[in-house]
Amino acid sequence: MVNILFENATLFDGEKFVPDSQFGVGTESGKIISTNKNFDEKINLKNKYVVPGLINAHTHIVADHTGKINQLGSSDNTAVKSTYLALKNLNDLLKDGVTYIRDVGSIFDIDIELSKLEKVGELVAPGIIASGSPLTMTGGHFSEGSYEVDGKDEVRKYARKLLKKGADNIKLMASGGVSFSGETPHDVQLDEEELRAAVTEAHRKGRTACSHAQGTESIQNAIRAGVDSVEHAVFLDDETVQMFIENDTYIVPTLAAPWAINQNTEILPDFMVEKSIAIEKAHLESIGKAAVAGVKLAMGTDSGTAMNNFDKNSSFELELMVRAGATPLQALQSATVNAAELLKIDDIAGLIEENKLADFVVIEDNPLEDITALQKEKEVYKKGKLI
């Protein structure tokens, strides 16, 4: 076993950067260890900034964002292609400093099985909070890659099936969206009663539940149903923002998703482009309003959707959050302490503390002064080993 002491770092403690910090890493355990140990090696991080490994709370690792191999929600997807893409995408996430993810829309239970392999050390990849297949109404959002359920009894049954398979989170579709034709972000899909049935099952097992919800009515349904986080939250009014605060519900903004579509309008379907352009301003304004009000934010990109990459957009999502109105501190917390709390992994991730995973990123500049520092050259450590 090799124990390494990292010295003279400027270390993010969840609120601020602390200069002249040191921390120990056990490369065999993959955890942060006491600095009172005997160390085989010392690494000087003078003039370097160290942040906990980033956590991306909204990915689709089985998808090809370029559409060359497969497309999210296509009926032509196979387990072989999807597994290949998942492994490639997990590797790309590591390059961007992401050391833990929540996948919220897989197929063939690939995220569940890869999560098990990563936990036992058979896979070098970000840790995975797995959701398996989402739950959607018949013909609803992402229906080709989801369990189609109608009524609370069916929702309850399929939530239980997912939990039996080992899902850590239940993903629910409360509204239509941008990426699929024949629906709009304002369409209400699974209703409050149906959503609550799944949330109840997840919480009984100590797991989480999240909901894709873009229109105001569907967002309010999801909050009242008790979800842990609302994904996207495109259209927020003052009443809905207050509901987030009163119910301690997180928002996972995924600002990178419409941004990526809107940068590639010439190669994407007209229906997708028209909807994406239509929501861009409202989405930014809503997330800015929520940030100013103090709603808890957790970083997520929706990577795997059209042109929404895995190797750069996690760090770029933080820039988009700041553009929307979040402070750099809120953005950095969204990808560390907040995301860890949302995913219920704050006992092992989110901060660089003794007995937590030795997942961290070394960068040159202070992201609280310029959030784009996280997009620049970086060293990524996963379980104490340099990637």
Band of pLDDT at residue 182, cut at 50, 70 and 90? very high
Specify the CATH number of the domain 54-342: 3.20.20.140
Residue 52 near residue 352 (C-beta atoms within 8 A): yes
- Assessment of whether the complete model's pTM goes beyond 0.95: yes
Q: What percent of the chain has pLDDT over 70?
A: 100
Quick one: average pLDDT of 184-197? 98
- The reported pLDDT for the residue numbered 71 is 75
**DSSP state, 175?**
B
Question: Domain extents for the chain?
Answer: 3-52+350-386, 54-342
Distance CA 237, CA 312 (A): 31
Specify the CATH number of the domain 3-52+350-386: 2.30.40.10
pLDDT tens for 215-248 read 999 999 999 999 999 999 999 999 999 999 999 9
Band of pLDDT at residue 173, cut at 50, 70 and 90? very high
Distance CA 140, CA 135 (A): 9
Host H or E run for residue 87: helix 79-95
Q: Do domains 3-52+350-386 and 54-342 have the same CATH topology?
A: no
Distance CA 299, CA 115 (A): 20
